[in-house]
Structure 1
Amino acid sequence: MAGTNPMVMTELPGGFVAMGDVQFLPGYCVLLPKRVVGSLNELSFSERADFLTSMALVGDAQLAVCHAQRINYDILGNTDDFLHAHIFPRYAWEPDQRRKMPVWQYPPASWQDSATAYQPAKHAKLRQELTAYLEQSLTAN
């Protein structure tokens, strides 16, 4: 990553954690592997283990910090031809018809609403809390 992506929060053994561009589900993050590959299957076994463990660690942080009801983990690769994992906290306050469906079923406006777009001033506290949880988890293990 060379320190050039302002969305990156921290580095984990399996990759770099970044805040999502949209925050209509507060705490949405993306995990990017340490080396650019097209899919999970292109990583070595140890890299896969690190990536998937790091992905779950981001979910742990979202559960603790965001008080999410559950976490949705998504590795698709259908649009962007590089490995990355979307990690979405899901909430009890979401409408039933949305909460029970994949996040991608939210209407397009949800993904483009400037009111829920990531904004450093608006999301700084959440970002700091998630980052602190992740970094403390690394030192605890």
Structure 2
Amino acid sequence: MEDWKKDRIGSALKGENPTVIAKMKSGFAVIADPQFLPGYCILLAYPKVFSLNDLNIEQRKAFLLDMSLIGDAITDVCKPIRINYDILGNSDQFLHAHVYPRYEWEEERRKHPMWLYPEKYWSDDKYQFNEDKYGELKSQLSLKLQKLIELSYKA
């Protein structure tokens, strides 16, 4: 495993996390490791806290706004039929939000949480982020998200 994966937020702060799409008010937008749903992203809260409830009201507003901006970027770039948002924290004990597209081509799977996809989708190399395969998607998401950030933070 790459060293940056041991501390994704710390590596993002040092500029060593290759999945970072944008620095946002509430943390870092990153493209997720598995890309079986193209455009799947995660918002990593910074500063690092245990849960949404550990943030004050202004920090919560920023986190939830940032989460929705990631969804807007995915919608514009990937053209899914909808965006789903999950804040879980069952495995990783720090605040982060999963922002993932749902597509027409998923058929029956679309009616169920993405977490019910078989293990092969989560671990198969063909779906794992790498710059050669998903770099262009990451760049498009980054450009769109930067524009949304500029517009939203000025408002």
TM-score computed with the length of structure 2 as normaliser: 0.87
Instruction: Please tell me whether residue 69 in structure 1 is matched to residue 66 in structure 2.
Output: no
Given the alignment, which residue of 111, 114, 123 partners 1:112? 123
SS of the counterpart of 1:81? coil
Report what 1:128 is aligned to: 139
Count of aligned pairs: 140
SS of the counterpart of 1:95? helix
Report what 1:14 is aligned to: 26
Instruction: Please tell me whether residue 3 in structure 1 is matched to residue 18 in structure 2.
Output: no
Structure 1 vs Structure 2 CA RMSD: 1.0
Deviation digits for residues 40-63 of structure 1 (CA, Å, limit 9, x no counterpart): 000111110000000000000111
Which is richer in helix?
Answer: 2
Query: What is the CA distance between 1:4 and its match in structure 2?
Result: 2.7
Q: Any gaps of 5 or more consecutive residues in structure 1?
A: none
Q: Which runs of 4+ in 1 moved over 6 A?
A: none
Give the letter for the 1:37 counterpart.
Answer: V
Instruction: Please tell me whether residue 140 in structure 1 is matched to residue 151 in structure 2.
Output: yes
Report what 2:52 is aligned to: 40
Q: Any gaps of 5 or more consecutive residues in structure 2?
A: 1-12
Q: Distance in 1 between matches of 2:117 and 2:149?
A: 33
Instruction: Please tell me whether residue 29 in structure 1 is matched to residue 41 in structure 2.
Output: yes
